[in-house]
């Protein structure tokens, strides 16, 4: 229930215009209008949010300030005596990260006969995969095709996706759905047992497969159970703090740190898969985030310090609809499925200011513009301005009971605070959601510069280009996770490791010093406003 008078006054305007808005469809923006909007309002285009890297494979390129400080920091084990001859774990495939990509990779590596182990700084399933809600894309119906899926995603990503990666994503999508269903994922189906699919922003066909609005949780539950049932070792609360190389320059494992005891351990591996997820908890540009607490760009830093370049590291996805009120759920994801079901974005005066299914970057920029001083059409909240998402439209369009049936997680989240989204609109504002950029890989999932190192999931750059469509992230963790597991297992059969070392850590510290970068310790909470010392 909304108690502030200004909110109640605005809700009356939303209700007054609802019938007229339901009778019309807001027009789509032209390409030129979108470009101008993004340039003026999207955070990726704000120069003050970036710094230029002075060292490493991407020297001279811009990167979000918070990430830049971590990339140009010294290793926490610099000067620590790590005995690499004392091997605590010796495996064929080491998977760093236990979300959707890491679990998928481990399952397929195990299926291929490899001795595989997962290490994670939290628990298995503590990942953005668990928090994904809206669904997973796949062109598996008669009126659709992977080619059409490719065109939608390529255009939605500003034509910047790596073709070989995007082609793999869309071509393997139907099999990914089948694989998940066979593992036990309970996708939404109609009375005839046919998959229920919906639109997402930027899609030309209904290809969004969902498990109500618990899609990621259902997928992660199933993957976790499969990992456990196979007996794959999972070393929880053990963060990979540095990659290990051998005297041939190829990756040879990782140094792990027990998050409870602080003890360092050595994991030796013939191939390593980085599947550490996103970076939302760095709170770029001081935005709230929908990400879980482990999303701190760890894999990007590990790979970068070892010599693997980044791709599109300057592009971040701000999900258009994060909860803006009440404060207890500020930044929590409001799935795009809410708009797919018909809810419109509406300003303080009850006006629909954009088409509800524009791509995410355009939608986020539109909301930011509406709340800016240029338009001053946002609704005042204790956390700042926001706009309405007119959720009562859903049941007027699809019938009573639709919200509880199709988006129960959203319904329960808001009902905890007395807001009945069946009867009242909800307040939203963009939230930091997805890391479009990441480590650069080739079509087989390997980095091009560090032998036997693979990357999967949100830690990869190039799959989606410079913007991602809804439902393609749950898809990429499955497609590229599975492929990385298969490739890592196959490669491990031919790998002979030399003497292990951490020479690259010492060398990176020297490069930082030569560049005049002060790498003293600083609290990560100070990074956004700190122009001095850096440490990770």
Strand partners of residue 197: 209
Residue tagged active-site, from 207, 319, 355, 468? 319
Instruction: Identify the helix (H) or strand (E) that includes residue 185.
Output: none
Q: What is the pLDDT of residues 115-165, one digit of tens each?
A: 999 999 999 999 999 988 889 999 999 999 999 999 999 999 999 999 999
Decide if pLDDT at 432 tops 70: yes
Decide if pLDDT at 269 tops 90: yes
Q: What is the pLDDT of residue 421?
A: 97
Q: What is the pLDDT of residues 473-495, one digit of tens each?
A: 999 999 999 999 999 999 999 99
Average pLDDT over residues 464-480: 96
- Distance from C-alpha of 204 to C-alpha of 170, rounded to nearest angstrom: 14
Catalytic residue status for 319: yes
Decide if pLDDT at 527 tops 80: no
pLDDT over 70 percentage in the chain: 97
- Distance from C-alpha of 529 to C-alpha of 66, rounded to nearest angstrom: 9
Q: What is the pLDDT of residue 134?
A: 86
* Token code pair at residue 181: 């269903």
Residue tagged active-site, from 149, 199, 305, 339? 339
In angstroms, what is the C-alpha Rg of the chain?
Answer: 23
Decide if pLDDT at 1 tops 80: no
- Distance from C-alpha of 392 to C-alpha of 377, rounded to nearest angstrom: 21
Q: What is the pLDDT of residue 523?
A: 41
Decide if pLDDT at 532 tops 70: no
* Token code pair at residue 27: 């027009």
Residue 521 banded pLDDT, cuts 50, 70, 90:
very low
Regarding pTM above 0.85, the answer is yes
Q: What is the DSSP string of 58-109?
A: TTT-EEEHHHHHHHTS--TTTT----TTS-SEEEEEEEE--SHHHHHHHHHH
- Distance from C-alpha of 267 to C-alpha of 96, rounded to nearest angstrom: 11
Provide the Cα torsion 138, 143, 149, 150; round to 10°.
130
Decide if pLDDT at 522 tops 70: no
Ranges of beta strands (E only) in 163-306 are 197-198, 208-209, 234-235, 238-246, 251-258, 264-274
- Contact (CB, 8 A) for 160 and 466: yes
Average pLDDT for the chain: 94
Average pLDDT over residues 422-440: 97
Decide if pLDDT at 529 tops 80: no
- Contact (CB, 8 A) for 256 and 264: yes
3-class DSSP assignment, residue 175: helix
Distances in whole angstroms, Cα of residue 1 to Cα of each of 325, 349, 407, 446:
11, 19, 19, 51
* Token code pair at residue 79: 């000067």
Q: What is the pLDDT of residue 520?
A: 57
Q: What is the pLDDT of residues 209-225, one digit of tens each?
A: 999 989 999 999 999 99
Residue 350 banded pLDDT, cuts 50, 70, 90:
very high
* Token code pair at residue 400: 């009573």
Residue 45 banded pLDDT, cuts 50, 70, 90:
very high
Q: What is the pLDDT of residue 518?
A: 76
Q: What is the pLDDT of residue 215?
A: 95
Catalytic residue status for 339: yes
Q: What is the pLDDT of residues 304-342, one digit of tens each?
A: 999 999 999 999 999 999 999 999 999 999 998 999 999
Decide if pLDDT at 459 tops 60: yes
Average pLDDT over residues 385-410: 96
- Distance from C-alpha of 375 to C-alpha of 364, rounded to nearest angstrom: 15
Contacts 24+ apart (CB under 8 A), 518-524: 519/72, 519/73, 519/74, 522/69, 524/70, 524/282, 524/296
Decide if pLDDT at 46 tops 60: yes
Q: What is the pLDDT of residues 178-206, one digit of tens each?
A: 999 999 999 999 999 999 999 988 899 99
Phi-psi label, residue 378: left if phi above 0, alpha if psi -120 to 50, beta otherwise: beta
> What distance lies between CA 157 and its chain's CA centroid?
15
- Distance from C-alpha of 173 to C-alpha of 247, rounded to nearest angstrom: 39
Residue 189 makes CB contacts below 8 A (sequence gap 6+) with: 195, 196
């Amino acid at each position: 229930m909304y108690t502030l008078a200004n909110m109640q006054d605005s809700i009356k305007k939303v209700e007054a215009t609802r019938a007229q808005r339901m009778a019309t469809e807001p027009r789509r923006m032209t390409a030129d209008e979108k470009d101008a909007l993004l340039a003026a309002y999207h955070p990726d285009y704000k120069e003050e949010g970036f710094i230029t890297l002075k060292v490493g494979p991407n020297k001279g390129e811009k990167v979000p300030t918070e990430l830049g400080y971590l990339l140009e920091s010294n290793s926490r084990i610099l000067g620590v005596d790590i005995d690499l001859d004392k091997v605590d774990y010796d495996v064929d495939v080491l998977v760093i990260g236990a979300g959707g990509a890491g679990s998928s990779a481990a399952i397929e590596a195990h299926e291929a006969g490899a001795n595989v182990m997962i290490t994670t700084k939290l628990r298995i399933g503590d990942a953005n995969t668990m928090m994904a809600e809206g669904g997973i894309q796949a062109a598996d119906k008669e009126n659709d095709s992977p080619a059409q899926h490719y065109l939608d995603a390529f255009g939605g990503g500003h034509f910047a996706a790596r073709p070989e990666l995007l082609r793999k994503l869309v071509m393997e999508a139907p099999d990914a759905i089948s694989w998940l269903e066979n593992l036990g994922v309970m996708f939404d189906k109609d009375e005839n047992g046919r998959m229920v699919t919906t639109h997402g922003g930027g899609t030309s066909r209904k290809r969004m497969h969902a498990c109500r609005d618990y899609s990621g949780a259902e997928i992660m539950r199933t993957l976790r159970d499969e990992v456990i049932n196979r007996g794959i070792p999972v070393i929880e609360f053990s963060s990979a703090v540095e990659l290990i190389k051998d005297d041939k320059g190829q990756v040879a494992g990782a140094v792990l740190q027990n998050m409870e005891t602080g003890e360092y351990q050595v994991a030796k591996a013939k191939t390593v898969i980085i599947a550490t997820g996103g970076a939302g908890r760095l709170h770029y540009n001081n935005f709230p985030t929908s990400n879980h607490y482990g999303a701190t760009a760890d894999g990007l830093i590990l790979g970068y310090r070892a010599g693997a370049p980044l791709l599109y590291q300057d592009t971040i996805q701000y999900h258009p609809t994060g909860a803006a009120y009440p404060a207890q759920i500020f930044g929590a994801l409001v799935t795009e499925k809410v708009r797919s079901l018909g809810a419109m974005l509406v300003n303080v005066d009850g006006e629909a200011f954009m088409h509800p299914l524009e791509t995410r970057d355009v939608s986020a920029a539109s909301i930011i513009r509406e709340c800016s001083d240029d338009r001053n059409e946002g609704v005042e909240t204790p956390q700042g301005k926001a706009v309405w998402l007119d959720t009562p439209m859903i049941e007027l369009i699809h019938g009573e009971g639709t919200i509880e049936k199709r988006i129960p997680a959203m319904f329960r989240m808001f009902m905890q605070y007395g807001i009945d989204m069946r009867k009242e609109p909800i307040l939203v504002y963009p939230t930091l959601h997805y890391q479009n950029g990441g480590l650069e890989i080739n079509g087989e999932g390997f980095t091009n510069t560090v032998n036997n190192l693979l990357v999967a999931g949100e830690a990869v750059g190039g799959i989606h280009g410079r913007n991602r469509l809804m439902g393609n992230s749950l898809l990429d963790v499955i497609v590229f996770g599975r492929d990385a597991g298969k490739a890592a297992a196959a490669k491990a059969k031919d790998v002979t490791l030399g003497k292990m070392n951490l020479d690259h850590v010492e060398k990176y510290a020297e490069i930082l010093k030569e560049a005049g970068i002060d790498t003293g310790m600083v609290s990560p909470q100070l990074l956004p406003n700190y122009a001095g010392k850096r440490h990770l």
